[in-house]
Amino acid sequence: MRTLLLLALLSAWLARPATPQWRPEHKVLAATAVTMLLLDHFTTVDGIKRGYRESNPLLGPHPSLGRLNTFTALEIMAELGIGALLPDRARTIWFAVLTGMEFGYVWHNFAVGLHVKFRL
């Protein structure tokens, strides 16, 4: 299934029509959306380690860290890939909506006491 998803995304990217160059606001919004996604990822890692139940139905109630890492990597590729396929105005809206959604998830994770922890 994952292989099919990656092939579909790659095919869509290769067959995409020429789209306008990314403007600075596209780059900032894309970076912000990915940053929010990574904050969501790291707070979810904290939740998994503490035994919290995951609310994302695509991950299941108690995903492994490997499953979460794979899901996050695929999500980043999908977000940026779809953004690259969109025309100018839709790209701005796409990344703004993703940023807002991820901000809500991160806010919720912080509200229930999860933290971002970097351990080397």
Band of pLDDT at residue 120, cut at 50, 70 and 90: very low
Strand boundaries in 6-108, DSSP class E: none
Half-sphere exposure of 116 (CA within 13 A, CB side): 10
* For the chain, domain boundaries: 24-111
- State pLDDT tens for residues 22-38: 999 999 999 999 999 99
pLDDT (tens digit, 9 = 90+) per residue, 81-100?
A: 999 999 989 999 999 999 99
In angstroms, the Cα distances linking 40 to 3, 44, 79 are 24, 6, 15
Spatial distance between the Cα atoms of 27 and 42, rounded to a whole number of angstroms: 22
Single pTM value for the model: 0.80
* Model confidence at 14: pLDDT above 70: no
Average pLDDT, the chain: 87
Buried/exposed code over 90-99 (b: 16+ C-beta within 10 A; e: otherwise): ebbebbeebb
Contacts of 102 (CB under 8 A, 6+ apart): 33, 36, 37, 39, 40
Question: How many angstroms separate the Cα of 35 from the Cα of each of 44, 60, 98?
Answer: 14, 23, 11
